[in-house]
A and B are shown apart, each in its own frame.
Chain A
Amino acid sequence: MEAVAALERDAELMLRVREGDETSFALLLERHRAPVVHFLYRMVQNQAVSEELAQEVFLRVYRSRATYEPTAKFTTWLFRIATHLALNWIRDGKKEKSQESLNEELLDGAERQVPDRQPTVEQELLYAVKLNEVRRAIETLPEKQRAAVMMHKYEELDYAQIAKALRCSESAVKSLLFRAYETLRSRLAHMA
């Protein structure tokens, strides 16, 4: 019920954007900015690149406002654009160029994620190692499996939405996820 209400709200906002209401675009941005950036961040593993790609997603949404028809879930559409841009970026081999900032980001990330208010150096390092292993394990998944896991685990999209974002069938999504989790379980088994 809540999901239906959210769908209607997004569609309603987008229809207002179509009529030229800029405030509604700002509201849509507010609602979806973080999920889109976070999804892209986990796909490309670089904050600057993820924000650049997310801007492209919202730019494309804005550009297509005149032709928007509320026949699809707005979120699905967003993630379809985001997935397309992320996969293109990965396939273009741009990933290597952005690797230099990874170590720095990892340590920043560890600092951010230690729950204690003043983490010890040891705690921070432990988190950095754990985080690094998770990121590496995800990074080595085939790109479609990776995208499916990111949408399923972190963005909580359902099979139908993931299928549309990846342009495949729901049963293909189920099998992508099954294989991905199987791989991740074996790669990260030692962390437990």
Chain B
Amino acid sequence: MRCMKQSQDGARILIEYCAGALDPMHAAEVERHLESCTDCRALVERQTELWEALDCWKAPQVSADFDARLYARIAREQAAPSWKKWARRIFEPAVPAPFWKPLASLAAAGAVLAIGLMIQTTPHPARTPQVHADQVDIEQVAKALDDLDILAPANSM
């Protein structure tokens, strides 16, 4: 067999072997190669050591009041004024991605256009501070679009 370490695919298989992610047949194949190849044995040894080093990093326990805090946030959201709930509905994918995605893009294009028009029609004295505020608005539009995309996967992945 050609040395596994020499190709990226082969090296990836060695890493999967170290992670215990190979099925028995492939693992046996790797082991046969390891018997005769010192280079690959060295890589497996170093990867195993890395795996063990990474194991020493345990994450802390989740705080006992995590759920209580979350439910309080949910309750606050639900008690929010209806315009906020309405706004939230817009940023939630109410219909599957193929329908709402173009709509969202259209809405964003409209928002950007509206901002552009606002810049055009704003009288001169207000222009300097206005420019900064408009930049923030454009960023917010981009961020909102990003958020929309994140909320979509349950329907689109």
User: A residues engaging B (CB < 8 A)?
Assistant: 14, 26, 29, 33-34, 37-38, 41-42, 47, 51, 54-55, 58-60, 62-64, 66-74, 76-77, 80-81, 84, 88, 105, 108-109, 112-113, 127, 130-131, 134-135, 138, 152-154, 164, 174-175, 177-178, 181, 184-185, 188-189, 191-192
Contacts and interface: CB of A to CB of B under 8 A. Distances in A.
Determine chain A's interface SS by DSSP, over half rule: helix
A69 to B, nearest CB: 5
Contacts of B151: 60, 63-64, 81
A14 B154 CA distance: 11
A69 B50 contact: no
Interface of B: 8, 11-12, 15, 19, 46-47, 49-51, 53-54, 56-60, 62-63, 66-67, 69-70, 73-74, 77, 88, 92-96, 146, 150-151, 153-157
Contacts of A67: 92-95, 154-155
A77 B88 CA distance: 19
Contacts of A188: 49-50, 53
A89 B95 CA distance: 28
A55 B53 contact: no
Contacts of B47: 181, 185
Contacts of B49: 188-189, 191-192
Given A131-B56, A164-B157, A178-B12, 20 more contacts: A14-B154, A29-B70, A33-B66, A51-B69, A55-B70, A58-B70, A64-B151, A66-B94, A67-B154, A71-B157, A72-B157, A108-B60, A130-B56, A134-B53, A134-B54, A152-B19, A177-B15, A184-B50, A185-B50, A188-B53
A71 B155 contact: yes
A29 B67 CA distance: 8
Determine chain B's interface SS by DSSP, over half rule: helix
A51 B66 contact: yes
A80 B153 contact: yes
A175 B8 contact: yes
The 7 closest A-B pairs by CB, nearest first: A38-B59, A72-B157, A192-B49, A41-B59, A77-B153, A37-B62, A84-B150
A37 B63 CA distance: 10
Given A33-B62, A38-B59, A181-B47, A69 B96 contact: yes
Given A63-B77, A63-B88, A77-B157, A153 B62 contact: no
A37 B154 contact: no
28 contacts: A14-B154, A26-B67, A33-B62, A34-B62, A51-B69, A58-B70, A59-B74, A63-B77, A63-B88, A64-B92, A67-B93, A67-B95, A67-B154, A72-B155, A73-B157, A74-B154, A80-B153, A88-B146, A108-B60, A109-B57, A127-B56, A134-B54, A134-B57, A138-B57, A164-B153, A164-B157, A185-B47, A192-B46
Contacts of A185: 46-47, 50
Contacts of B70: 29, 55, 58-59
Contact of A71 (B11, B60, B67, B154): B154
The listed residue with most A CB atoms (<10 A of its CB), out of B11, B58, B59, B67, is: B59
Nearest to A40: B59
